[in-house]
Homo-oligomer: A and B are copies of this chain.
Amino acid sequence: MAEAHLQEALTTLKDSGVRITPQRHAILDYLVQSMSHPTADDIYKALEGKFPNMSVATVYNNLRVFRESGLVKELTYGDASSRFDFVTTEHYHVICDSCGTIVDFHYPGLDEVEHIASHVTGFQVRHHRMEIYGVCGSCRQKDTHEQL
């Protein structure tokens, strides 16, 4: 399953004339395997065993390449680092204000909102982002015990 996603991604890249270097293969592989939403630095650190000489710039460059090929979505926040999400099916994210955990959340796209926004503002709407924030189950338990 994950393997299939990786193969498909590699084919997509090859077909659009992007070379498959060992570094790119490894970064993609990590993105597919990791069920989390890693930062560029997470990826850099995770791969420094295999590629002791890899530069952070390589990670950033290739994440940009993947983003431009539509393989990866960049989740941007204010001060903190961007997180990168391998694109499979459409979904939103629910984020814990306390520990930062990101949980995938499947919900039908908000087409109506897009239509109304387009109508009201005169924009040609192309996409939207939505995130839901709160406190995750384990942080709530901690809070209860610690009287936080």
Contact = CB atoms under 8 A, between A and B. Distances in A.
Interface of A: 74, 76-79, 82, 92, 94, 96-97, 103, 105, 107, 110, 113-114, 116-118, 120-137, 140
A94 B77 contact: no
Given A78-B77, A132-B128, A122 B107 contact: no
A132 B105 CA distance: 19
A82 B80 CA distance: 12
Given A74-B78, A78-B76, A130-B128, A121 B103 contact: yes
A95 B109 CA distance: 18
Residue among A76, A96, A122 with the most chain B CB within 10 A? A122
A135 B126 contact: yes
A124 B129 CA distance: 21
Nearest to A96: B123
A124 to B, nearest CB: 5
Contact of A117 (B76, B107, B129): B107
A94 B121 contact: yes
A67 to B, nearest CB: 11
A140 B124 contact: yes
B123 A103 contact: yes
Contacts of A78: 74, 76-77, 82
Contacts of A136: 121-123
Contacts of A79: 76
